[in-house]
Structure 1
Amino acid sequence: MSTEAETWTTLKVLTWTVGYLTEKGVENARREAEWLLCEATGLDRIGLYLNFDKPLQDGELAAYRSMVARRGKREPLQHILGNQEFDGREFVVTKDVLIPRYDTETLLEEAVRQAPQARTVLDIGTGSGCIAISLAHRLPQAQITAVDLSSDALAIARLNAERNNAAVEFLLGSFFQPVTGRRFDLIVSNPPYITRADLDTLQPEVRDFEPRLALDGGVDGLDAYRALVSEAPGYLEPGGWLLFEIGAGQDKDLAGLLADAGFGAIVTVPDSAGIIRVVGGQWHAV
């Protein structure tokens, strides 16, 4: 986008940006250009369309140019805007947390379906806190505990809990270590599940900007699951549920791990695209 003195109207800016972002390999370039322009101008999308012929002010154009340059380098849109919606609520996101995905709402829905009366809930690897905070609203009777290995991630999760008026206990540590001696009615986790060989093939937005700690699942993508499944029985109440988000094609392996560990009532749940996204089981099924 030229910095020379010329008139950049809303429509002209959008048209240029769509071409630029498309050239850089950004999917949904038109929609993303509109979101960035909404952020720069303070208008909503309808406002943009009603002001196609309006020139941008210098400050708006400078802010927009900076955001477009970042997106052209494939920095995630959510990092540029600073937030992402999940389960109808807005969550702050930074480079320190995995960006909440719509697919993860499948895990949330299954948790509420299987354990609607849960009194104690544990979220392992909470990241932004989106699952724990959403469960705090969905299961108001429950005490929600969330664990993460990253202190930077926990700082974001605490901020999100405050902004979304959710009572969640956040603890720093690896897997079950911070909750030694406690038992839960429901344990949920969206652990790292990308195979190490696939890490470098991910989209630049994921590979270069999201925390590797939240992505790297080891050689076969199952390292975290093995550890969690083996330890979970010592932290579940009788009849308690252990539910995971998984990657595409991992459902049979996970179901096998759960069955071998003594879990029953094993469930596999597809996401909106029909891909099995959640696998879980009940401890000492009742």
Structure 2
Amino acid sequence: MSTIESLLREATGKLHGHSDSPRLDAELLLAHVLDTGRTTLHTWPERQPSPETEAAFLGLVERRLVGEPVAYLIGRRGFWNFDLDVSPDVLIPRPETELLVEQALARIPADADWPIADLGTGSGAIALALARERPRCTIHAVDRSAAALAVARRNAERLDLHNLHFHQGDWLDALPAGIDWQMIVSNPPYVPEDAPHLAARGVRYEPRAALAAGADGLDDIRRIVPAAWQALAPGGWLLLEHGWDQGEAVPRLLEAAGFREVADYRDLAGHPRVAAGRKPC
């Protein structure tokens, strides 16, 4: 019978050339089918999984070989300081999006009780991070997809977070009326419709509506910026994630709408990634 280590070696060999992290992928998939953590794999490499477990693992490896993302195969992705349930109904959270969370938190006082909107919440990554770090704030998470909202609600329940509300609809149109928003955040679609990497391995499995936005990728941002200006309280902030090549275009849109203190921030790879602007008091 195969051991944990021999299965990992076999899978890693198969995944070479198909993944940037073949050993990590193999460990995540095997830990998933064993319902354990990766530490167990390292501690007891001589253990022999059952034939059923081995078959399930090798089946996942085959799916990974054709490009299906590990996050979808195991139904989970780490973000901020917690794990998220994910499915093909939601975009897989990226590390770059943590920059948006960081910049939002830098502007929210620790004891603030602000109403905050997260537009296009998907799995709930941004909304949940803000809700955990600023428990007195009330986060309103919006998505047009009922399936995505079901994933976000499930994540909120699993993390035992209760300072969130979920709304189905289109951007700010879905938010309740009569609230002077202190902050609006969004990681909207920002990829041009004809971008070649939309057909790349992995990306093609993700919901296209969560990725692409018109010829230049800015269609949704152009809708959000003026609507956010109208919805924000004086002194309120708008923060937007955007593409690496939109670091001039998005701040220009903010400035044209009347936002002040406009700034753009680079991700860990050095790419422009998050734009912020404040409505004057």
TM-score (norm 1): 0.92
* SS of match in other structure, 1:197: coil
Provide the residue aligned with 1:220 in structure 2.
Answer: 216
1:263 aligns with 2:272: no
1:238 aligns with 2:234: yes
Provide the residue aligned with 1:171 in structure 2.
Answer: 167
1:124 aligns with 2:119: yes
Cα drift, residue 42 of structure 1: 3.8
Cα drift, residue 104 of structure 1: 0.6
Letter of the aligned partner of 1:235 in structure 2? A
- Pairing of 1:1-286 with structure 2 (within 5 A): 7-23=1-17, 25-116=18-109, 117=112, 119-167=114-162, 168-179=164-175, 180-199=177-196, 201-207=198-204, 209-284=205-280, 286=281
Q: Could you tell me how far apart the structure 2 residues matched to 1:21 and 1:30 are? A: 8
Letter of the aligned partner of 1:86 in structure 2? F
Indicate the larger mover: 79-88 or 65-74.
65-74
* SS of match in other structure, 2:248: helix
| Aligned 8 A contact 1:115 1:241 in 2 | no
Q: Could you tell me how far apart the structure 2 residues matched to 1:278 and 1:254 are? A: 9
Number of equivalences:
277
| Aligned 8 A contact 2:100 2:239 in 1 | yes
CA RMSD, Structure 1 to Structure 2 (Å): 1.6
TM-score (norm 2): 0.93
| Aligned 8 A contact 1:14 1:34 in 2 | yes
Structure 1: 5+ residue stretches without partners: 1-6
Cα drift, residue 265 of structure 1: 0.2
Structure 2: 5+ residue stretches without partners: none
1:43–1:173 Cα change, 3 Å: closer
Cα drift, residue 9 of structure 1: 2.2
Cα drift, residue 266 of structure 1: 0.5
Q: Could you tell me how far apart the structure 2 residues matched to 1:55 and 1:129 are? A: 38
| Aligned 8 A contact 1:115 1:185 in 2 | no
Q: Could you tell me how far apart the structure 2 residues matched to 1:242 and 1:99 are? A: 23
Cα drift, residue 50 of structure 1: 3.7
| Aligned 8 A contact 1:199 1:216 in 2 | no
| Aligned 8 A contact 2:262 2:278 in 1 | yes
